Structure 1
Amino acid sequence: MAESRAAQYEWVPYMGAREPLAAVEDRFIAGPTAELPVRIYRPDVGGALPALVAFHGGCWIVGNIDLVDRPFRALAAATGCVVVAVNYQKAPEHPFPVPLDDCHAGFRWTVEHATELGINPARVGVVGDSAGGNLAAAVCLKARDDGRPVPAVQVLIYPAVDWSLDTPSAHECADGYGLTTLDMAWSWRQYAPEASTRDDPLVSPLRAPSLVGLPPAVVVTAGFDVLRDEGIAYAERLRADGVPVAHHHYPGTIHGFWWMRAAVDECEEMLNDVAVALRRIVDLAEADPDVTTSTEC
């Protein structure tokens, strides 16, 4: 496990330069079972900005806010959102529901401290890639079902949303494209070691009986990715249940391309597409909060 965690730093040379921002601040916040490090990226010092509470990828097992500093800086710069990165506790030492509870606590803390942070409390969303996308989707489900404030938007970048890995892409892209199906299956077992929990919608959001009432979504999928088809299916399920969706698909990319800004042109394209989609969603919500028109990009 230590070897896998150390190996993640091999991504850094592909991430590009650190984007300059108005302010970057490290804090600790109270989580349900531990103090959690958070890093706050502010692209501008003026006004109450929208925010994205961010959960990094890494199969629920590896990674931290230092590793993903550059992708999160790039996200803040591209979107104009304050990005609040949460360093949730990792499996297998801390399996489900600990990472999810940490992420939910990070979202609630951001809303509760919005004025102090210079954030618009009505415009706090969540974002995550891969396992982080799973956590972002699950935070939205948890908030909806608990009757608590729901994120204003969910940005799901090649999310893991079903444990079964029984899709065409899980077979077609099983090996040779970075993340393998065997890797992903092993990761699911670390995160949800009890087989009886894997059908829980908070573990596998695609298995939720209904997605009605969830926030507008931006969903990103990659063409050569084990998780491609489940991400597409989740976007389709959201749309079918009346949730506004902007789905951006990048056919020539692999899983993890957000962390490859210096090597993959589509990374910059994706960041710009997400920024445009977020502006459209905010405009849509301000015009009519009950509208459910979908956006396909």
Structure 2
Amino acid sequence: MSETATSGLASEITEAMPELRGRLKPEATLAELTWFRVGGPAEVLFTPADEADLAYFLKHLPADVPVTMVGLGSNLLVRDGGIRGVVIRLGKGFGTIALEGSDRLRAGTAVPDVKLARAAADASIAGLAFYRGIPGSLGGALRMNAGAHGSETKDVLVEARAVDRQGDIHTLSVADLDYTYRHCGAPEDLIFTEGLFQGRPGEQAAIQAEMNEIADYREEVQPIKSRTGGSTFKNPPGHKSWQLIDAAGCRGLEVGKAKVSELHCNFLINEGGATADDLETLGETVRARVKEMSGVDLDWEIKRLGARK
């Protein structure tokens, strides 16, 4: 396969996979798919029709073609040079939620976290309200063990389905996923397609009140109306990242049009016209200052993908 002709890569995929039902888009803009609104294009963007279509695609895609998975783009920084190979983004075929029994929900991984929380509330299922406070989709939640307000994905997940790079479909238990704080130990090539989530019987009014409280808290303490990527760095053991960043004098720090939020300094903001390089440089500057001040190494929570220009 050609590594230089973008339209050529899409054409070669189309020719090699006559039964493909999903959409292929060459030189696809990714900036509009990320909350930061920055970044270069995907060589080819693929939106599979459903799990079977995704499995067919991966099975027939040559092993030397890079595959990158993106979700709703909330916790993602696409670099200015874009992403070579195929970027996969799940769509409507992975957007269903179904009630199983009285206190379980099975949901596709394109479902936004907040939508799962609302579906649980509608079904009077407690224990999933924390997803109201997590931007992004369930695919990202499964991949990084997303959590908020004292709960994590590993606490409520029963099992997950995923497709590997060879196109084989797997059902994985929570133990198989080897979850730790903001980390999933499952192979990186697995693309999650659905999850089964366990709650407990609850009162709809109480669940809704909990969700409202979470939403109000986010609006009060986080710059959710700005072009941001959510929490930038993981909390190191025994510390809170925002406190370390604040102590290092980084609140309000700017690089180009990228700025450390003055409301919550573990958030980076695109003030309008920032490049991905501005944001990454700002993040690395913060890391260096925190290291110098406290001796603590901050690890990125935001996923950075692609090539720098």
Q: TM-score, normalized by length of structure 1?
A: 0.31
Q: Which has the larger radius of gyration?
A: 2
Question: Which of the two has greater helix per residue?
Answer: 1
Q: TM-score, normalized by length of structure 2?
A: 0.30
